[in-house]
Chains A and B, each alone.
Chain A
């Protein structure tokens, strides 16, 4: 029982980061049907910033906001330079554009910083745990979970209660109609990218803290987890993306604890197989958005 509880908390901690990433992916997908394979770069770029900051003796207190700001800026810049030029293109074109952006960013760091692993010092409290009965809870997990729920709450408020949120949801459900109703497409798309970057920035703070290092291709894993989680939840559904993130995190942790020791290192493989099974039985994901075929 306590082991299960322990795993649940671990899984929630892991899932929180995925949920933030997935929500960022889903916001952009909803608004322009772009599945952003460059979403991970919103962690790579701040990652190198963090590396630079540490060599200049910044503290995490200064660094965390810097990470978030840089993620938002990176998201906006990438939109401006690349994605704004393929707006309205086929899904195929947009997918490959984002894939290309990932490669340009990765190759840029490879060119100017080098292929080596750059270490980033974790904060002193990172490995601390608090004991609660038989449970050992990592402080890190608690902070991640707390921060994630706060951010998700704020995002919900933003989407449900503000004019920007209304415009964003309207545009996500029917872009053309929303424009006819006076929603400014440029600003709503930029807003979506800014929000996506902000969410990635929060996730990035924790991701970078947990990994404690950065490499040119560091964006691949967070991208994959975010994209998969969004897909598990049901592409196009914001709630689904958050749910998908938590499901993915819990699945990873629970599976690792249940698998026999000698095949534990294949956990990721098994998670993928489970995702495949999910798609076979529920092709649209957990909270699938009904796709109307237009004749």
Chain B
């Protein structure tokens, strides 16, 4: 049924490849130009360093950009890879000189640098897996502080071990120098790996895993509600990024020809992070731009610091600015760049602007016409939702007592009750966010109690949020697409609706390329609805879908909810305190009061129930 299935060859493969080629050529071309103009060895070294830094920064972008988790640890992984590369690639004669007591029988081993890189990557991946598990356990998510400290600790451990295990690493002073022929003389491996890194980063960004990781970056809870397990996607991103960083770090060691603990420590972590942040951490184009900008800025600062203004031949050497143009000025520039960007433009120069996606939107897309309206599904699979005997107590307070509801396929069931009736607790229970003391709930006999929220939504119970939770930086289309991606994998037995059609159905067609956070309130609500529908749910659970809406908007919403649910064949369980809305939309209604279901039936029956009138409408309505 998906007319635009995933991946879309042009958008997700062809253009990213073209984009990677262009980025590669521009970076290399800029470097070559600089090198030719200056025509000296130090310019050449600077360009080589920049190209290697680019590999590592692009590698780090894969993790930080897609998951939003700040990591210092990638340079720690780089240290591991660098040392492993070094001890394998170094010649036995050199080893006798530098690390004669090397453990693991390494003294007699020597492999070619290429093989050494492969070993370095493999071993580092094992460490990445272990650290990744630790990160997952710590509940890592976008911006999470504990995760960052874990990565920082990794950086310190590797540094500490490198310093205090001289048998393997040559310790702090000597370092391991190379007798593998020479240090890297040709740029070819660096260029090949840089191109590969760009390609991997862009293709991963457009891949299923990349998109799901970004969804979790934007809103972890909403992503889980859409069937995404963020921990899995974070792990994938971590492993891929560590591969790229390991290759880059091995090349760095190879090119310098030696390794010291301090080469992969705080200063380098800072440098690579600043490069990533300045350009824009959420885009590969930004990472590359950051590398270029910061390399230039640092080189300029270094020269100014060394020679004063004389580099420009203006001869202001002993001018009053001497107190600024001092040696090590480039370190200050790094720190100022970091703090300055964080204060004035925390998302970096390019934010998440991606060159190839811009190219695609300009030239690759062709004409798009609004899709035809979808017909409502006529044969809906027969599924039931049952919840019964649910008890929840917070301390001594009984929030829910023996609560339960039933819903049949295609049915719209309303839950209503005054504030404090237990509606929200009930929703939290059946969406896996509050564990009940007792009780069970199931879809079609499949017991759902105790399952994680992403498992619940994969089983067919998909929720929306009272306080909007959209993937703010993503476009309307991407928001819906995330859900469709998950549905493709986990809901394939249902009728899957086309992303474009669902957007059109929700009245969002003209807004399809806008970022979700730019939408007004009503459109945001409709997007949540469309996104939930794209999951091809058996039941949609709508948590106060009209909160903050006017009466007329609420009435329109009734029609939209009915229609959206019908096009994907979903039943609806809707919680609201707006009596008019609930009675207008529901086939059947459950009335909650003080944690108990006090009445159920058709809207007319419920409205006529005196108990309900007393509880919900209050005594004023009785008179």
Residues 246-278 of A, flagged 1 when their CB comes within 8 A of B and 0 if not, give: 000000000000000000011011001101100
A16-24, A98-106, A174-182: which lies at the interface: A98-106
Q: Are A92 and B70 in contact (CB under 8 A)?
A: yes
**In the bound complex, how far is the Cα of B335 from the Cα of A220, in angstroms?**
15
In this complex, the member of B144, B152, B160, B342 whose beta carbon has the largest number of chain A beta carbons within 10 angstroms is B342
Which residues does chain B contribute within 8 Å of A105, judged by CB atoms? 335
> Is B146's CB under 8 angstroms from A231's CB?
yes
Q: In whole angstroms, what is the CA distance A232 to B337 when docked?
A: 32
B residues near A43, Cβ cutoff 8 Å = none
Which of A83-91, A133-141, A164-172, A186-194 makes up part of the contact surface?
Answer: A83-91
Residues of B within 8 A of A95 (CB): 70, 143, 145, 148
Q: How distant is B168 from chain A, measured CB to nearest CB, in Å?
A: 11
**What's the tally of chain B residues with a CB closer than 8 Å to chain A?**
50
Contacts of B326 in A (CB 8 A): 111-112
What is the distance, in angstroms, from A250's C-beta to the closest C-beta of chain B?
18
Asked whether, in the complex, the Cβ of A220 is within 8 Å of the Cβ of B134, the reply is no
Tell me, yes or no, whether B374 is within 8 Å of chain A by CB: no
Check A155 for interface membership: any CB of B closer than 8 A.
no
Interface check A120, CB cutoff 8 A: no
B160 touches A111 (CB 8 A): no
Residue-by-residue, is A99-121 near B (CB-CB < 8 Å gives 1, otherwise 0)?
11111111110111001000000
Number of A residues whose C-beta is below 8 Å from B?
50
Give, as a whole number of angstroms, the nearest-CB distance from B591 to chain A: 22
On whether A269 and B134 interact (CB within 8 A), knowing A90-B346, A96-B338, the answer reads: no
Interface contact B153-A275, CB-CB below 8 Å: yes
Contact B328 A265 (CB under 8 A): no
A130 in the interface (beta carbon within 8 A) = no
Interface string of B312-353 (1 = CB under 8 A from A): 000000000000001111011011111100110010000000
Q: Which residue of B lies closest to A234 (CB)?
A: B146
A235 is an interface residue with CB less than 8 A from chain B? yes
**Chain B residue contacts of A214, Cβ below 8 A:** none
B137 at the interface (CB under 8 A from A): yes
Is B360 an interface residue when CB atoms closer than 8 A count as contact?
Answer: no
> B221 near A: Cβ within 8 Å?
yes
CB neighbors of A among B260-311 (8 A): 266, 270, 273, 277
Which A residue sits closest to B339, measured CB to CB? A100
Cβ B334 vs Cβ A103 within 8 A:
yes
Q: A293 an interface residue at 8 Å Cβ cutoff?
A: yes
A96, B137: Cβ atoms closer than 8 Å:
no
Given the contacts A91-B145, A111-B326, A283-B138, A104 and B346 also touching, CB distance less than 8 Å: no
Q: Which residues of A contact B334 (CB under 8 A)?
A: 103, 107
In the complex, the answer to whether B332 meets A108 with C-beta atoms within 8 Å is: yes
Q: How far is the CA of A22 from the CA of B219 in the complex (A)?
A: 30
Q: Does B610 contact A (CB under 8 A)?
A: no
B153 near A228 (CB under 8 angstroms)?
Answer: yes
Say if the beta carbon of A52 comes within 8 Å of chain B: no
Q: Is B157 an interface residue (CB 8 A)?
A: yes
Separation of A266 and B164 alpha carbons in the complex (Å): 6
- Judge whether A280 is part of the interface by a CB distance below 8 angstroms: yes
A107 to B138, CA, bound (A): 33
CB-based contact A111/B329 at 8 Å:
yes
Q: Kindly list chain A residues whose C-beta atoms are within 8 Å of the C-beta of B145.
A: 29, 33, 35, 91, 95, 235
Is A93's CB within 8 Å of the partner chain B?
yes
Residues of A within 8 A of B465 (CB): 295
Whether the pair A111, B327 counts as a contact (CB closer than 8 A) is yes
Q: B59 in the interface, Cβ–Cβ < 8 Å?
A: no
Contacts of B492 in A (CB 8 A): none
Q: Are A279 and B335 in contact (CB under 8 A)?
A: no
Q: Across the interface, do A35 and B149 meet the contact criterion of CB distance under 8 Å?
A: yes
Given the interface pairs A96-B277, A295-B467, the reply to whether A104 lies near B336 with Cβ below 8 Å is yes
A281: nearest chain-B partner, CB-CB: B137
Q: Is the CB of A224 within 8 A of B156?
A: yes
**Chain B residues closer than 8 Å to A89, beta-carbon distance:** 342, 346
Could you say which of B138, B329, B332, B343 contacts A85, with CB atoms under 8 Å apart?
Answer: B343
Residue pair B266, A217 in contact (C-beta under 8 Å): yes
Chain A residues with CB under 8 Å of B149's CB are 35, 227-228, 231
Q: Is A7 an interface residue (CB 8 A)?
A: no
Is the CB of A237 closer than 8 A to any CB of chain B? no
* B133: interface (CB < 8 Å): yes
Asked if A280 and B133 make an inter-chain contact with CB atoms under 8 angstroms apart, the answer reads yes
A82 on interface, CB distance cutoff 8 Å: yes
Given contacts A101-B335, A104-B332, contact A283 B160 (CB under 8 A): no
Q: Convert B106-135 into 0s and 1s, putting 1 for each residue whose CB lies closer than 8 angstroms to a CB of A.
A: 000000000000000000000000000110
Report the bound CA distance from A107 to B270 in whole Å. 12
CB nearest to B343 among chain A residues: A85
What chain A residues lie within 8 Å of B594 (beta carbons)?
none
Contact in complex: B146, A235 (CB < 8 Å)? yes
How near does chain B come to A256, taking the closest CB pair, in angstroms? 12
Instruction: Give the distance to chain A from B218, nearest Cβ to Cβ, in Å.
Output: 12
- Identify the closest chain B residue to A89 (Cβ): B346
Assess whether B339 is in contact with A82, with CB atoms less than 8 Å apart. Answer: yes
Interface centre among A89, A111, A112, A295 (most CB of B within 10 A): A295
Complex formed: what's the CA distance from A283 to B145 in Å? Answer: 12
- Does A97 touch B at the CB level, under 8 Å? yes
A92, B277: Cα distance in complex, Å: 11
Given known contacts A111-B329, A227-B149, A280-B134, is B160 in contact with A220 (CB within 8 Å)?
no
Which B residues lie within 8 Å of A235 (CB)? 145-146
Do B339 and A283 have beta carbons less than 8 Å apart?
Answer: no
- B466 on interface, CB distance cutoff 8 Å: yes
> What mask results when residues 461 to 488 of chain B are scored 1 for a CB within 8 Å of chain A, else 0?
0000111000000000000000000000
Tell whether, in the assembled complex, residue A100 and residue B335 are in contact, meaning their CB atoms are under 8 Å apart: yes
Question: Is B161 in the interface zone, CB < 8 Å from A?
Answer: yes
CA distance A94 to B70 in the complex (A): 11
- Does B437 count as interface, using CB distance less than 8 angstroms? no
| Best-buried of A103, A106, A293, A294 by chain B (most CB within 10 Å) | A103
Q: Ordered nearest first, which 5 A-B pairs have the shortest CB separation?
A: A100-B338, A103-B335, A104-B335, A107-B331, A100-B339
**Pairs A–B under 8 Å by Cβ, sample size 28:** A35-B145, A35-B148, A85-B343, A86-B342, A86-B346, A91-B143, A92-B142, A92-B143, A93-B346, A97-B339, A99-B273, A100-B339, A102-B335, A108-B332, A110-B328, A111-B326, A115-B328, A217-B266, A228-B149, A231-B146, A265-B164, A266-B164, A266-B165, A268-B164, A272-B157, A273-B157, A279-B150, A295-B466
**Knowing that A235-B145, A280-B137 are A-B contacts, what are 16 other residue pairs whose CB atoms are under 8 Å apart, sorted by A's residue number?**
A35-B145, A35-B149, A90-B143, A90-B346, A91-B144, A93-B342, A96-B342, A104-B335, A107-B332, A111-B327, A224-B153, A269-B164, A276-B134, A294-B467, A295-B424, A295-B543
